Amino acid sequence: MAAPAAPSQQSLFALSCLNFFLSGMQTAFGPIASAYLVLQGLTAKEIGFVLTIGGIASLVSQVPGGELVDTAPAKRLLVATGVVTVALSVVIFRLWPVLPLLALAEILQGLTGGVLGPAVVAITLGLVGQARLSERLGQNQRFAAAGGVAVTLTMALIAYSDSPWAMLVPAALAVPVLVSLYHIRADEIDFARASGAESGDADSPGRANRAALLKNRRLLIFAGCAALFQLASASMMPLLGGLLAYESKTQAAPLIAALIVVPQVLVGLIAPWVGRSAEKHGRKPLLLVGFAALPIRAVLFALISNPLALIVIQLLDVITGAVLGVMTPVVIADVTMGTGRFNLAQGMFGTVMGVGAALSPTLTGLIVDQFGRSAGFASLAAEGFVALLLLAVFLPETKEQLPDSAIEPGQSSLGGTAR
């Protein structure tokens, strides 16, 4: 039998630092990357191509990345490899901003998407175990939010001083990320626990058949709800940015910056509370609150155009971000417990959500072009409401429930033959 989860304070502190610095590194490939490419003289078409190819690479990496995280014993090495790859991508962005190399950098960074996030969650699960996962993920998200805000503000200050080196800040963060990773004790990361497997054989845990995940009713329901939610959510901020630019042209940039930074600060404050509440009151009540915030926000955006009011309404996204950031991996861990396929399920889930996010701008753009911004927000509200309704009706509470199929001799908890 594997030893009970009893991580040292050193490992837990290092895990917090890892989330802080890693989030800061990944900040470079958000809106900052788009702004940087504009300053390099790339056309909108070229920027769109670079960002799209990175998104495709991330989408393609989700399932094989999850499979790799499940089966590789050296989780820290996976994260270290991804970190070095991201740092290399940032250096390419800064030193060789020509289209072919920028596309290569986006591909490299995109490919890490299927490994870095799942591997950090797997390390967390391997350290603290299922019972403490939600509370610890709340702490992870707090430090990740703080890191994202700190690096965004640092890069903005450097850029404001006309320094050309702002883009290299995320690359420099690779050093503290690797130091933090080194101080997480490898012997405290239980291999079986980190993949959601039974702990009877920690060195060679039994795993469900891959296809069995496709028969996991609760996983499929949650994935469908999340994909529909993402279909609504992914277009919300771009559409809001356009509305702010239209209503308040001179203040659009600082307003949009505030909408990125302030919610992150608030998410960091409430995420630990979300993790603790999930253990006390279950997952579903929190999920319902997180899902409900989106259609409410979209309806208000459709009806109100005052810039200050829009900022206040956008703060509802804090609820959504904090809840889904913590609850998504927790619910996946719940419904795949004992299968040894937790990270593969994360990869499948990420793929479905990525498809929803990819379709969202196109569908919303068509509606806005034909019927206007208010109709666009109304369509997002409708999609979010359907996701909420499906979640409320079809997804049961997942905390401390048995897996879908009865465990029979020689089989995993999902009914697939263990191997």
Asked whether residue 126 is assigned to any structural domain, the reply reads yes
369 in any annotated domain: yes
| Separation between Cα atoms, residue 33 and residue 27, nearest integer Å | 9
Domain contains 227: yes
Whether 415 is in a domain gets the answer no
Q: Considering the domain boundaries, does residue 296 fall inside one?
A: yes
Do residues 219 and 287 share a domain? yes
Examine the domain organization and report whether 186 and 238 are in the same domain: no
State whether 35 and 168 are in the same domain.
Answer: yes
Q: pLDDT at residue 203 above 80?
A: no
Domain hosting 330: range is 212-399
Same domain, 245 and 286: yes
Instruction: For residues 244 and 390, state if they share a domain.
Output: yes
Share of the chain above pLDDT 70, in %: 83
Residues 243 and 152 in one domain: no
* Same domain as 41, residue 74: yes
191 & 216 share domain = no
pLDDT given for residue 344 in this prediction: 94
Same domain, 170 and 223: no
Instruction: Look at residue 138 and tell me if it is in a domain.
Output: yes
Q: Residue range 260-282: average pLDDT? A: 87
The CATH number of residue 183's host domain is 1.20.1250.20
Place of tokens 């009540």: 285
Mean pLDDT, the chain, integer: 83
* pLDDT, tens digit, 9 for 90 and up, residues 367-418: 888 888 888 889 999 999 999 999 999 999 998 744 443 333 333 333 333 3
Are residues 250 and 373 located together in one domain of the fold?
A: yes
How many domains does the chain fold into?
A: 2
pLDDT tens profile 93-117: 888 888 889 889 889 988 998 999 9
Question: Is 201 part of a structural domain of the chain?
Answer: no
Same domain, 157 and 227: no
| 270 and 245 belong to one structural domain | yes
Burial 7-25, CB ≥16 within 10 A → b, else e: beeebbebbbbbbbbbbbb
